[in-house]
């Protein structure tokens, strides 16, 4: 089972260069519990970058750069399929 509605969609975030940015998301209820990943501008976000941490439904960027700005979506996935959240925009000033 994977419901359609996200319990919490991420919100737009505005930060200055060098500040931390946090986006939160709670995926739809599902069985098995969906795993969470993020996409930036339609591309899956890898947390190989040491500045980026994905824990639970939180996306944390410790030290934002200009090129982190963009449109982010949270993706909840289980064996039934995947659902994408509403788009949240990260603005880096």
Residue 7 in any domain: the answer is no
Residue 72 in any domain: the answer is yes
Q: Provide the pLDDT confidence category of residue 39 given band limits of 50, 70 and 90.
A: very high
Residue 5 in any domain: the answer is no
Residue 82 in any domain: the answer is yes
Residue 3 in any domain: the answer is no
pLDDT reported for residue 46: 79
Angle among Cα 54, 58, 63 to the nearest 5 degrees reads 70
pLDDT, tens digit, for every residue of 53-69?
A: 999 899 999 999 999 99
Cα 5 from Cα 33, distance rounded (Å): 14
* Full residue range of the structural domain in which residue 53 is found: 13-92
Residue 55 in any domain: the answer is yes
Q: The pTM is what? A: 0.93
Total of domains in the chain: 1
Residue 65 in any domain: the answer is yes
CATH of the domain at 80: 2.60.40.10
Beta-carbon neighbour count of residue 34 at 10 Å?
A: 23
Residue 42 in any domain: the answer is yes
Say how many residues make up the chain. 93
Q: Provide the pLDDT confidence category of residue 49 given band limits of 50, 70 and 90.
A: confident
């Amino acid at each position: 089972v994977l419901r359609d509605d996200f319990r919490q969609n991420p919100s737009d975030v505005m930060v200055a260069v060098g500040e931390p940015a946090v986006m939160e998301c709670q995926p739809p209820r599902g069985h098995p519990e969906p795993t969470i990943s993020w996409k930036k501008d339609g591309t899956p976000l890898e947390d190989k970058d040491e500045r980026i941490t994905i824990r639970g439904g939180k996306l944390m960027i410790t030290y934002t750069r200009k090129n982190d700005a963009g449109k982010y979506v949270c993706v909840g996935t289980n064996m039934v399929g995947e659902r994408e959240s509403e788009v949240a925009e990260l603005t880096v000033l």
